[in-house]
Structure 1
Amino acid sequence: MSALTIRDVPDDQIQTLKIRAAQVGKSLQAYFLDLIARETSKPTLAEMVERLNRETTASISTDEVLAAIDAARTGR
């Protein structure tokens, strides 16, 4: 596992993070690990768009769609 150093974090932000960590009963390190885990488990917008394009792209022609509609209407 790697170590991570963040420089030049304003004191007020550090204080806020310490308070939030304490409110959930965690050390600052554990709180940050949870934040990082949550952030990295969510797909980015670009990843979601790519996934949606991949999953919603149909390789079916208009004629095939119309034929399926006609077949469904005939079967009523």
Structure 2
Amino acid sequence: MATLHIRDIPGDVAATLSARAATEGRSLSAYVGAELSKLAQRPTNAELVSRLRAADRRGAPTREDILAALHEGRR
């Protein structure tokens, strides 16, 4: 495992994180480590765009289908 030191965290942010960790019965280090793990698992915006561009859209509604459904829903 790596060690990560984070500096210049505003006091109110540190207090909030510490309170959340205490609520879960965890150390601040364990809480922040788990939150960073969740963050690292999320795709970046660039990865999402790449996935969307590569997606097969055959059979998906057309722009006209979507606009017609919106128009119908407003009646």
TM-score range, shorter chain: 0.5 to 0.7
* Structure 1 counterpart of 2:51: 51
Q: Where in structure 2 are there 5+ consecutive unaligned residues?
A: 59-75
* Structure 1 counterpart of 2:28: 28
Tell me by how many angstroms 1:33 deviates. Answer: 1.0
Aligned CA-pair RMSD: 1.6
Question: Who wins on radius of gyration, i.e. which is larger?
Answer: 1
Count of equivalent residues: 58
TM-score (norm 1): 0.67
* Structure 2 counterpart of 1:17: 17
CA–CA separation in structure 1 for the residues paired with 2:10 and 2:48: 33
Tell me by how many angstroms 1:56 deviates. Answer: 2.6
Point out the structure with the larger helix share. Answer: 1
Q: Where in structure 1 are there 5+ consecutive unaligned residues?
A: 59-76
The answer to which structure, 1 or 2, has the higher relative contact order (CA under 8 A, 6+ apart) is: 2
Tell me by how many angstroms 1:57 deviates. Answer: 6.7
